[in-house]
Amino acid sequence: MTELLNREIHLTSRPDGMPVPENFALVAATLTPEPSDIVVQNLYMSVDPAMRPALSNGQTPLDTAMPGGAIGKVLQSESESFPVGAYVMHRSGFREYHVSDGSDLALITPEDEALTTHLHILGGTGLTAYGGLLVTGELKDGENVFVSAAAGAVGSVACQIAKIRNCRVAGSCGSDAKVDYLLNELGIDYAFNYKTSSISKELHRGLPDGIDVYFENVGGAHLDAACGQMRPLGRIPVCGMISAYNNKGARSEGVTTLSNMIYNRVTMKGFVVYEFNHLRDQFLADMRQWMREGRMKYQETVMEGIENAPAALIGLLHGENTGKMLVRLADG
């Protein structure tokens, strides 16, 4: 293969508070792959809340193509594992082409599901909800469950798994349209717009017996309200704290109700998705079955073109997505 023009998104300065377009640049680079290289054309890339702290804490390097989950199609390859035309997943998003020796690629073999589902409900996003709720959260049938950011990619999977396990589920979200989606599409028991209501009062209404499991995505005022209403031996699996990500030092609003953790012997535990890698086969089998049965739905917010990747990330942090935020880079 001769030269390839590769458009990439670079982080050019570290955001102080909410990221702005000026923190990013679209840069054109020229690739000249060797015949032994595997060349992947990226089709879709993932935009995730966890990208935000990495922009500030030094994990995302400056002035080079940013990392991020992506699905691509193999354009050139001498590898039997990743033949031309195969779909692969990798961590080199935020660019149109990825050149690899194969060591960072995972083959994707879609069954009857859409390719993009492997970037969310059948990928790390789904496994985060599955493991966080069932393993870290030790969910039991029929419990009272609160999910914050319930209309987000992880939250919406957590809500549906809890419903499948016959739980009573309340969810918070940031718009009335999302409330409608949660109640009428996902079928949870109670939903509220935290921007226009008291979280504490809504939780008392939605889960009057208290909370057994709070699947934590937001932190700050959400945790302050939920922690005070945890039931005996309640669990708080901490998936994320998006309310803290845009503050200096990743600080959330103050949480004042933690003493309830003593009285009710509550456990709060941070987790990351790679703890659940050993569950991936069972996870995929469960999720595909639930999808076929119509009990596991999803929604995507798709922005078009590599040039819109920064806007997609900024939009995510403003809550503009329902379900998974994706960027489409090329036709599959």
Stated length of the chain: 332
Interface residue with a copy of itself among 198, 256, 282, 289 (CB under 8 A) is 256
Residue 182 · residue 151 · CB < 8 Å = yes
According to the binding rule CB under 8 A, does residue 289 interact with a copy of itself? Answer: no
> For a copy of itself, which is the closer residue by CB, 88 or 225?
225
Contact between 245 and a copy of itself per CB under 8 A? yes
Q: Are 174 and 319 in contact (CB under 8 A)?
A: yes
Residue 285, SS3?
helix
Q: Give the residue with the Cβ less far from a copy of itself, 117 or 136.
A: 136
Quick check: 200 binds a copy of itself (CB under 8 A)? no
Of the candidate residues 240, 283, 296, 323, the single one contacting a copy of itself (CB under 8 A) = 240
Integer Cα distance of 282 and 212 in angstroms: 25
Question: Measured at the alpha carbon of residue 53, what is the angle toward residues 64 and 18, in degrees to the nearest 5?
Answer: 90
Say how far apart CA 300 and CA 119 lie, in whole Å.
Answer: 10
Are the beta carbons of 237 and 137 closer than 8 angstroms? yes
Handedness of CA 174, 175, 179, 182 (dihedral sign): negative
What radius of gyration, in Å, describes the C-alpha atoms of the chain? Answer: 20
Residue 254's CB: how many other CB atoms inside 10 A?
Answer: 9
In whole angstroms, how close is the CB of 52 to a copy of itself at the nearest point? 11
Cβ closer to a copy of itself: 132 or 323? 132
Among 179, 239, 273, 309, binds a copy of itself (CB under 8 A): 239
Residues numbered 259-278 forming contacts with a copy of itself, rule: CB under 8 A: 259-272, 275
Residue 191 or 273: which CB sits closer to a copy of itself?
273
At residue 22, what are phi and psi to the nearest 5 degrees?
-70, -10
CA distances from 66 to 45, 141, 240, 283 (A): 12, 41, 21, 29
Min CB(265)–a copy of itself separation in Å: 5
Contact segment (CB under 8 A) with a copy of itself among 89-97, 146-154, 156-164, 244-252 equals 244-252
DSSP 41-91: EEEEEE--TTHHHHHHSSSS-SSSBPPB-EEEEEEE---SSS-TT-EEEES
Nearer Cβ to a copy of itself (227/312): 227
Query: Which is closer to a copy of itself, CB of 210 or CB of 219?
Result: 219
Q: Which stretch binds a copy of itself (CB under 8 A): 80-88, 117-125, 142-150, 255-263?
A: 255-263
Closest approach of Cβ 312 to a copy of itself, in Å? 22
Token digits of residue 93: 């998003």
Least distance from a copy of itself to the Cβ atom of residue 131, Å = 12
- For position 64 contacting a copy of itself by CB under 8 A, the verdict is no
- Contacts (Cβ under 8 Å, ≥6 apart) of 96: 6, 7, 8, 41, 42, 306, 329, 330
How many residues belong to the site for a copy of itself (CB under 8 A)?
A: 36
Q: Provide, rounded to whole angstroms, the least separation between the CB of residue 316 and a copy of itself.
A: 17
Q: Which is nearer to a copy of itself, 271 or 290 (CB)?
A: 271
125 binds a copy of itself (CB under 8 A): no
Comparison of 228 and 323: residue with beta carbon closer to a copy of itself: 228
Question: Which residue ranges make up the site for a copy of itself (CB under 8 A)?
Answer: 53, 219, 223-224, 228, 238-241, 244-245, 249-272, 275
